Structure 1
Amino acid sequence: MRRVVLFLLVPNLVLVLMFAWLQRSMMYFPARVAAVPTSECGLPPDRIHEIEVPVADEMRLAGWLALATGQAADDSADGLAKLSDGRNLLLYFPGNAGHRGYRANAIADFTELGLDVVLVDYRGFAENTGKPAEAVLHADAREIQTWLAGRGVSAERLILFGESLGSAVAVRLAADLCREGTPPAGLLLRAPFSSMTETACHHYPWLPVRWMLIDRYESIDHIGDVTCPLTIVHGTDDQLVPVRLSRNLFEAAPSRSAAGIERRFIELPGVGHNAMPREPIVEAARELIPGSEESNGDQEHAG
């Protein structure tokens, strides 16, 4: 009997230990490169510039500044100077794979709306040193926001955009800014989750994930403090982040922003996690720009 018990327990114990040891390598999939040329973005050279943001641990994180259509700058310093012109800026927090070059089309789309765009790759992604982890991603996001504020971009001019894992980073930053009385202009989330814990439980129901997970990304604990306009876009055929987790997050958010703008949930039938068309995201971003025509109602759309 003892041998039977050991035979059943040992494989499960090995799985638990492997998950505990490898969990971050199963969560983050950075594309490592020596550099990401701005030419990969496809924008004119005077509208896309390399930037570096100083963060903790004496590190500098590389990223891109893309200027809105109709804007131009000779270099990154000139481009940064133009940020004080008063346009809204979309601060982009990407998912858990690739690097900023993979988001070139999306960046270009947002600039066509008259938005400046900043995307700074996470630690360990692209040419950035270090390793990604929840605590440092949140801290770095705040450093980036502070860095932008020092260049004339107030929190109230920011539209925070988070996709997948980046949604948790965006939610946390939005909540922190709202708690401080400086809410961003809007929060746009693509395929978000209520928590990484719930997502991991969905994929590994046989493992004691709730006791083991290090980077938990509990967005549902922070979304209730988000008082800026909120839009969530999710596909019904998402196999990585089930749409129900996105709905759980949506239901935990305030029904209206402090300015009275109702939250929006845009559901895309038959759309998977990595096959979402760009148009619904672009249109959602357009409607978050202050001064745009807002629709009424606690909106839930089928795209």
Structure 2
Amino acid sequence: MTKLLFYLLGLLVLHFGAHVHVLPEPEVKVAPPAEDNPDYYERSLQGGAPVVMYLHGISGSRALLGRVQVYQTLRNLGYHVIAVDYRYGDSSSGPLSEDGLVADSRCVYEWLRRRTADSPILVWGHSLGSGVAVHLVSALCRHGQPPAGLVLEAPFDNLAHEVSAHFLATFHRDMPGFHWFFVAPLKVNGMAFESDVHIAGVTVPTLILHAEDDVIIPCRLGVQLHRSALRYQPTHQVRLHTFEARFRYGHDFIWRSPRLPVLLSHRSLVRVPGVGPESSETTLPPVNANELYTAFAGVMATS
């Protein structure tokens, strides 16, 4: 707990009841303490720097150490990060449902949109948060409120497939009644998270990131989601990047990849001068957040 507290203090964050706001690196040195001038943080959203709205998975809270490391990585790239709280578990209570999570996230997105002026917003969903993100962005696109882009980290195509593929189901999925007892109730109880259906409504550039050694959500489910997306989006607008198992990123550590700055641009599938094979020692050249956003939102169509 102490270590986590130091991480949070080091990030210079403003913690609301519904979200955490992490300032981009250039603003950290000039920002006043949150308790002295809380309005500064809202005003800073109008400065033009890209904003990542981060939707975490079902376990723990937005303050888990691995998630804090994601915020740190994005902050170092010059992004604001808004890490969203849901209506269950973290600092609030209420029934858990897909529609409820999407409604909560949309409320934060609309709050952000009113305060960011022309600053671009990227919606980032990890694990179960990817299901929330696809559903949310699909609805936003249908209603003429699309974000600048969508990033899906360790996503599934739908929750029914994820429940069946999860390693904890290894010894049970072939038993009589498994589907009836574990899978069928998901849809009945409003927890289907059919990203492969909702992706049809997504019209913004989409980046899918998945580690091949992910045992929580197998990489093949991310690949299946990519295939579903390609039925509705042009190939230059939706990209899939998988990470070899030798890097041991698993379900929660893609933020460790030194290629992440490049993957957040349209250059993710082309050779970048000066960037060698991925390794823990690889150092990428500095990347400006606005340049990253321009590349990412520029239809990602370079070859």
Taking structure 2 as the reference length, the TM-score comes to 0.73
The worse-fitting range, judged by mean Cα deviation, of 198-207 and 75-84 is: 198-207
Contact 2:226/2:240 (8 A) holds in 1: yes
Matched, 1:170 2:118: no
Residue 41 of structure 1 corresponds to which residue in structure 2? Answer: 8
Residue 208 of structure 2 corresponds to which residue in structure 1? Answer: 232
The worse-fitting range, judged by mean Cα deviation, of 249-258 and 166-175 is: 249-258
Post-superposition offset of 1:282? 3.2
Deviations 1:150-196 (A, max 9, x none): 22356x71111111000011111111122223321111111100000
Residue 51 of structure 1 corresponds to which residue in structure 2? Answer: 16
1:189 and 1:161 map into 2 onto residues whose CA distance is: 6
Residue 29 of structure 1 corresponds to which residue in structure 2? Answer: none
Matched, 1:200 2:175: no
What is the DSSP-based 3-state SS (H/G/I as helix, E as strand, rest coil) of the residue aligned with 2:224?
helix
Matched, 1:135 2:111: no
Letter in 2 for 1:73: A
Post-superposition offset of 1:66? 0.9
Contact 1:227/1:254 (8 A) holds in 2: no
Select 1:290's aligned residue among 274, 289, 293: 293
Deviations 1:99-152 (A, max 9, x none): 122121110110111111100222223332334322210110111111112223
Q: Aligned pair in 2 of structure 1 residues 88, 124: CA closer, same or farther (>3 Å)?
A: same
The number of residues matched between the two structures is 250
Residue 73 of structure 1 corresponds to which residue in structure 2? Answer: 31
Q: Give the share of equivalent positions with the same residue, in percent.
A: 28
Residue 121 of structure 1 corresponds to which residue in structure 2? Answer: 85
Residue 27 of structure 1 corresponds to which residue in structure 2? Answer: none
5+ residue gaps, structure 2, are 267-291
Alpha-carbon RMSD across the aligned residues, in angstroms, is 2.8
1:178 and 1:151 map into 2 onto residues whose CA distance is: 19
What is the DSSP-based 3-state SS (H/G/I as helix, E as strand, rest coil) of the residue aligned with 2:108?
helix
Q: Aligned pair in 2 of structure 1 residues 182, 286: CA closer, same or farther (>3 Å)?
A: same
Post-superposition offset of 1:256? 8.5
Written as runs of structure 1 = structure 2, the 5 A alignment for 1:175-254 is 175-202=138-165, 203=169, 205=173, 206=175, 207=178, 208=180, 209-213=182-186, 214=189, 215-254=191-230
Matched, 1:95 2:63: no
Q: Aligned pair in 2 of structure 1 residues 251, 171: CA closer, same or farther (>3 Å)?
A: same
User: More strand per residue: 1 or 2?
Assistant: 1
Letter in 1 for 2:225: L
Contact 1:199/1:241 (8 A) holds in 2: yes
Residue 262 of structure 1 corresponds to which residue in structure 2? Answer: 237
Q: Which has the larger radius of gyration?
A: 1
Taking structure 1 as the reference length, the TM-score comes to 0.73
Letter in 1 for 2:31: A
Q: Aligned pair in 2 of structure 1 residues 123, 153: CA closer, same or farther (>3 Å)?
A: farther
Residue 82 of structure 1 corresponds to which residue in structure 2? Answer: 44
2:215 and 2:116 map into 1 onto residues whose CA distance is: 41
